[in-house]
Structure 1
Amino acid sequence: MIKNPKIAVFGGGSWATAIVKMLCENLNEVGWYMRNENAIDYIKINEHNPNYLSSAEFDVSKLLLSNDINELVNYADVLIFAIPSAFLKGELDKISENISEKIIFSAIKGIVPESGLIVGEHFHKMYQVPIENIGVITGPCHAEEVAMERLSYLTIACQDRKKARMLSKYISSDYIKTKTSDDIIGTEYAAMLKNIYAIAAGIAHGLGYGDNFQSVIMSNSIREMKRFIKKVHKMKRNINNSAYLGDLLVTGYSVFSRNRMFGNMIGKGYTVKSAMMEMSMVAEGYYAAKSAYLLNEKNGAKTPIIDAVYAVLYQHKNPKQIFKKLTEELD
Structure 2
Amino acid sequence: MSKELKFAVLGGGSWATAIVKMLTENQEKVGWYMRNTEAISHIENEKHNPNYLSSVEFHTEQLELTEDIDTVVSKADILIFAIPSAFLETELKKLSASLAHKVIFSAIKGIVPETGLIVGEHFHDTYNIPFENIGVITGPCHAEEVALERLSYLTIACADKDKAELVAQNLSSDYIKTKISDDIIGTEYAAMLKNIYALAAGIAHGLGYGDNFQSVLMSNAIREMGRYIKRVHKMKRNINNSAYLGDLLVTGYSVFSRNRMFGNMIGKGYTVKSAQMEMKMIAEGYYAAESAYKMKGKFKKKVKTPIIDAVHKVLYENGNAKKVFKELTHKLD
> What is the TM-score with the length of structure 1 in the denominator?
0.99
Q: Work out whether residues 8 and 33 of structure 1, in 8 Å CA contact, stay in contact via their aligned partners in 2.
A: yes
What residue is the counterpart of 2:72 in the other structure?
Answer: 72
AA aligned to 1:280 is: K
Alignment correspondent of 1:223: 223
1:154 counterpart letter in structure 2: L
Q: Secondary structure at the match of 2:167?
A: helix
What residue in structure 2 maps to residue 109 of structure 1? 109
Which secondary structure does the structure 2 equivalent of 1:104 belong to?
Answer: strand
Tell me the distance in 2 between the aligned counterparts of 1:282 and 1:217.
23
Offset, 1:3: 4.2
TM-score by length of 2: 0.99
Q: Is the 8 A contact 2:206 2:265 kept in 1?
A: yes
CA contact (8 A) 2:203 2:267 kept: yes
| Native 8 Å contact 1:198 1:259 kept in 2 | yes
SS of residue in 1 equivalent to 2:261? helix
Aligned match of 2:315: 313
| Mapping 1:27-176, distance limit 5 Å | 27-176=27-176
Report matched runs for 1:188-199 at 5 Å. 188-199=188-199
SS in 2 for 1:197: helix
> Secondary structure of 2:104's match?
strand
2:205 corresponds in structure 1 to 205
Moved beyond 6 Å, runs of 4+: none
Q: How big is the shift at 1:100?
A: 2.2
User: In 1, Cα distance between the equivalents of 2:100 and 2:320?
Assistant: 46
Aligned-pair CA distance for 1:281: 1.0
Matched, 1:304 2:309: no
User: What is the SS of the residue equivalent to 1:298?
Assistant: coil
Contact 1:198 / 1:248 at 8 angstroms: preserved in 2?
yes
My pick for the range that moved more, 3-12 or 61-70, is: 3-12
**Paired AA for residue 270 in structure 2:** Y
The CA distance in 1 between the partners of 2:157 and 2:114, in whole Å, is 24
- The answer to whether the 8 Å contact 2:197/2:218 transfers is yes
Contact 2:3 2:166 in 1 (8 A): no
**Letter matched to residue 307 of structure 1:** D
Q: How big is the shift at 1:171?
A: 0.4
Q: Which amino acid aligns with 1:69?
A: I
Greater displacement, 93-102 / 217-226: 93-102
What is residue 6 of structure 1 aligned with on the other side? 6
Q: Distance in 2 between matches of 1:324 and 1:125?
A: 41
Indicate the SS of the match to 2:297.
helix
* Rounded Cα–Cα distance in structure 2 between residues aligned with 1:301 and 1:52: 38
Is this contact kept in 1: 2:11–2:32, CA < 8 A?
Answer: yes
Q: Distance in 2 between matches of 1:142 and 1:194?
A: 13
Deviation at 1:99, TM superposition (A): 0.2
CA RMSD of aligned residues (A): 0.5
Q: What secondary structure, in the 3-state scheme, does the structure 1 residue paired with 2:298 have?
A: helix
Is 1:254 aligned to 2:254, yes or no?
yes
Given that 2:7 and 2:31 are in contact with CA atoms closer than 8 Å, whether structure 1 keeps it comes out as yes
Cα deviation for residue 96 of structure 1 reads 0.5
C-alpha distance in 2, partners of 1:272/1:213? 24
2: CA distance, partners of 1:52 / 1:74: 26
Percent identity between the two aligned chains: 74
Corresponding letter in the other structure for 2:18: A
Does the 8 Å contact 2:165/2:180 carry over to 1? yes
Matched to 1:81, the amino acid is F
Q: Distance in 2 between matches of 1:247 and 1:194?
A: 7
Secondary structure of the 1:9 match is strand
Gaps of at least 5 residues in structure 2 are none
Deviations 1:34-90 (A, max 9, x none): 000000000001100000000111000000000000000001000000000000000
Question: What is the letter of the counterpart of residue 107 of structure 1?
Answer: A
* Unaligned 5+ runs, structure 1: none
1:2 is displaced (CA, Å) by: 4.1
CA-CA distance at 1:166 after TM superposition: 0.2
Cα pair 1:100 1:130 within 8 Å, conserved: no
Letter in 1 for 2:183: D
